[in-house]
Structure 1
Amino acid sequence: MLPEYNFRGGVRGKHFKAYRRGHTVTIHKSDGTIQVQHFKLEEGAVMLEPDVQAYFPDSEAVNNALRGLITLLPRKPKSRARA
């Protein structure tokens, strides 16, 4: 970022919940037309904090790391049928 950008009044996470619900981008083109695009996070999408993102270049790296952790967890006991 350039030094002249001033973010002192910014609030971290201000639009986080709205972004998770989905958002619309309206593009005003130079020829006068308008293009509207709707974005919504895919089911199961997870947002990583920046300090965590630094360790994972892509979703495959995240999944591999989590699978490695899962192998360390004790197996869940089978649920018993209720009487």
Structure 2
Amino acid sequence: MTNDELSDEYDFSQLSGGVQGKYVERYRKGTNLVLLDPDVARAFPNQESVNEALRLLIQISERLRE
């Protein structure tokens, strides 16, 4: 058996009752993770592009308040 194989006694077909997203609210409280709508995600495919756009928006907002 290699290191990345599970032993035969692990039979995942016997598992039931799992709940998807069980801890999602707890996770969101401890992170600043934001889910983008699909159209926005297409325009901003990575965190760098999102941060760049938001920083530009902050600069514009600050200049308009002056």
What's the Cα RMSD here?
Answer: 2.9
TM-score by length of 2: 0.51
- Distance (whole Å) between structure 1 residues aligned to residue 35 and residue 8 of structure 2: 36
Return the structure number with greater relative CO, CA threshold 8 A, min gap 6.
1
Identity percentage of aligned residues = 40
Aligned to 2:32: 44
Aligned to 2:45: 57
TM-score by length of 1: 0.42
- Distance (whole Å) between structure 2 residues aligned to residue 74 and residue 47 of structure 1: 26
Aligned to 2:60: 72
Other structure's SS at 2:44 match:
coil
